[in-house]
Amino acid sequence: MSKEILYIIKVGGNIIDDEKKLSGFLKQFAGLKSHKKILVHGGGKLATKLAGQLNIPQQMIEGRRITDEETLKVVTMVYAGYINKNIVALLQANGCNAIGLSGADGNSILAHKRIHASIDYGYAGDIDAVNHIFLKNLLDQDIAIVMSPITHDKKGQLLNTNADTIAQEIARSMSESYEVNLIYSFEKTGVLLDANDDSTVIPSIKPAYYATLKAEKKIFAGMIPKIDNAFTALNSGVRRVTIGNAEELEKLISHTAGTSITNE
């Protein structure tokens, strides 16, 4: 018997910051009727803005926010509160029963405080385990899951955690029970041959072609970690990874837009 399909869709910050784009994306997400689905959202600029208003200085190292105690309060409020609950309310308005979670809820994502030889990332979490039984129970009730990028360590500490990594770890864990399609949706149309030309989307990437693209330096540097992560996911049981524009979610699902990455 073939497994049921599960869509795990990460939506990026630039979409969340734009009320109209977010609303269009959520309409399409809600429209995936009778499909099991998990939405993982990032943070957007609202946390940075709120930290600014509260005079909490923000420090970024290699694109990652250093999460001190006050910043953790801000991201917990903004990600797990404001953004998460508004997304859930909008999905309910579109006829999609949804539930918003942090990793503490139902012990859904267990993490530990990042340990690093030279950089103190503060309350940043690296993932140890995904509670796939709890998540599957919700999906079995036809409830869409909306996951915020906040996890916990089961010792009472909340932790700020990268949303891309959360999507990947949930995808890996759920592959046991589902045929998982992992979709990274953001403001770009897919993996591009020319970073400045949205029409140069590569529709399909398989391992041999990826090796060629890299050897010929046809993929711009910023994309390489994303595609490497995609292959890591595929090698851990995920069926397909798609990268593309959140405003074209329906087309990403039907493989008529974006870049589809598979092993075969």
Smallest distance from the beta carbon of 96 to its own copies, in angstroms? 10
Q: Residue 107, interface with its own copies (CB under 8 A)?
A: yes
Strand boundaries in the chain, DSSP class E: 5-11, 36-41, 60-61, 64-65, 98-101, 109-113, 125-130, 144-147, 150-152, 158-160, 179-186, 204-205, 240-245, 259-261
SS3 219: coil
Pick the piece of the chain touching its own copies (CB under 8 A) from 105-113, 117-125, 163-171, 231-239: 105-113
Q: In what order do the strands lie in the sheet with 259-261?
A: 98-101, 144-147, 36-41, 5-11, 179-186, 240-245, 259-261, 204-205
Of 20 and 217, which CB lies nearer to its own copies in the complex structure? 20
Contact 140, 131 (CB under 8 A): no
Of 177 and 236, which CB lies nearer to its own copies in the complex structure? 177
Smallest distance from the beta carbon of 176 to its own copies, in angstroms? 19
Of 150 and 213, which CB lies nearer to its own copies in the complex structure? 150
What's the per-residue H, E or C state across 45-96? CHHHHHHHHCCCCCCEECCEECECHHHHHHHHHHHHHHHHHHHHHHHHHCCC
Judged by CB under 8 A, which of 7, 29, 79, 123 binds its own copies? Answer: 79
Per-residue contact flags (x/-) with its own copies for residues 152 to 181, judged by CB under 8 A: x-xxxxx-----------------------
Pick the piece of the chain touching its own copies (CB under 8 A) from 4-12, 104-112, 122-130, 173-181: 104-112
Smallest distance from the beta carbon of 102 to its own copies, in angstroms? 5
Q: Residue 30, interface with its own copies (CB under 8 A)?
A: no
Pick the piece of the chain touching its own copies (CB under 8 A) from 88-96, 167-175, 190-198, 248-256: 88-96
